[in-house]
Amino acid sequence: MPLEGFPRHARTRHRLLTHASDRRRPARRPGASARYHPDQRCVRSRAPCSRRPRPLRGVPHGVLGRTQHRCPRCARTAGPPRRDPPRRGGPDQRAGLVRRGRPPVRARPLAVPGAFAFEANAHHDVRGELQEFFREDVFRAATGRTFRLAQANTVVSRLGALRGISVATAGHAKYLTCTDGAVLDALVDLRTGSAAFGSWHLEHLDAERRTSLFVPPGVGHATLALADRSSVTYLLSELHRPEKFLTIDPLDADLAIEWPPEPASVVVGNSLSLVEALDRNLLPGYSA
């Protein structure tokens, strides 16, 4: 192929691509290895480059390394092994625990005024997973209040156990999540004077998704265990005193909570009906 009309650098490039395989390799020193480095491979054929390195001129050490390789198969320069740039962020990001672009906890308002569900994202790595079920900054941004932790409890229930409806007569807030098994959680607005008095919301909680619920003061709470040894962890804003709590019948016809068919096999019978609690003026009041 005539080379007239081609620039000088194009002629040199064409000559290298055409005749590189025909050029003889220089003699190796006695005892020298044919391969300079196992990671030095041809950029086109990905075959190990067997030519001896020659020093780079005018390139600082650390940019491309001290040597370059000319592959006899394609006459291209194969540089040193490529290294990934260092990761940015804190130690959690470098360990792979934090996913960029996704908040660790997301808040979702419920039908009962003042109640929220917080959905946590699981962060997986080679060691397992990490789940954040409570974040003060996310909680304060969603509810507009701070949560003062006074006590933490864990309740383990057998299959079919129905607990509640428990409501505090004084200001008492709860933050709960299911850590083992699965439960069906009910939130009931029992605050007298509330526009949503008597309304309720059902939320399915399990140990896989780790959805958490915030129960504001004056809202009743009941749980139905859907698996044996289901565990629920509670964060309480006040110390638990049994004399300040009231239990309403979870199967009360006036509330008409839509539990599953034949919901419970274990039900505590010492509870009041909604009408009895209203007549005796035992329910808490509503405060915006």
SS3 percent helix, strand, coil of the chain, rounded to 5, is 10, 30, 55
Which residue from 241, 236, 244 is spatially nearest to 282, judged by alpha carbons?
244
For residue 234, the cross-strand partners are 153, 176
> How far is the C-alpha of 130 from the C-alpha of 158, rounded, in Å?
27
Closest CA to 245 of 222, 264, 226: 222
Which amino acid does the sequence have at 242? Answer: P
Which of 6, 71, 85 shows the shortest CA–CA distance to 43?
71
Q: Is 175 noted as a catalytic residue in this protein?
A: no
Pairing verdict, β 161-168 and 266-267: parallel
Q: Could you give the C-alpha distances from 114 to 76, 145, 218, 287, in angstroms and in order? A: 68, 11, 10, 11
* Contact predicate 175/153, CB 8 Å: no
C-alpha 118/C-alpha 116 separation (Å) is 6
Sequence-distant (≥ 6) Cβ neighbours of residue 152 within 8 angstroms: 233, 234, 235, 236
Cα 231 to chain center, whole Å? 21
- Judge contact between 227 and 181, C-beta under 8 A: yes
Active site residues: 234
